[in-house]
Amino acid sequence: MIKKLLAQLGVVFFFFAVALTAHADQRQSATALMTPSNQAMQNDMSLNPALFWIMDGEALWGDRSNPAGKACADCHQDVKQSMKSVAATFPKPVKGKLLNLEGQINQCRTSRQQSPAFAYESKNLLSLSTLVAYQSRGLPITASTDPVIEPDYRKGQSLYFQRMGQLNLSCAQCHDDRAGLKLEAVPFHRATLRLIQFTASSGKA
Q: pLDDT class for 123, splitting at 50, 70, 90?
A: very high
Phi–psi pair at 169, nearest 5 degrees? -115, 150
Q: What is the pLDDT of residue 180?
A: 74
Instruction: Residue 185: give its domain's CATH number.
Output: 1.10.760.10
Helices (H), the chain: 2-18, 36-43, 50-61, 72-76, 79-82, 101-111, 123-134, 150-161, 171-175, 193-196
Which residue would you say has higher pLDDT here, 134 or 201?
Answer: 134
Report the pLDDT value the prediction gives residue 32, as an integer from 0 to 100: 77
Q: Please give the residue range of the domain that contains residue 78.
A: 2-204
Whole-model pTM: value is 0.74
Sign of CA dihedral 181, 162, 153, 6: positive
DSSP, collapsed to helix, strand or coil, labels residue 110 as helix
Query: Greater confidence, 150 or 61?
Result: 61
Domains contained in the chain, number: 1
CA 40/CA 136 separation, integer angstroms: 19
Best mean pLDDT range from 95-104, 139-148, 174-183: 95-104
98-112, 152-166, 189-203: least confidently modelled range: 189-203
Residues 55 and 92: their CA atoms lie apart, in Å, by 27
Give tens-digit pLDDT for 22-80.
Answer: 444 455 667 777 889 988 998 898 999 999 999 999 999 999 999 999 999 999 999 99
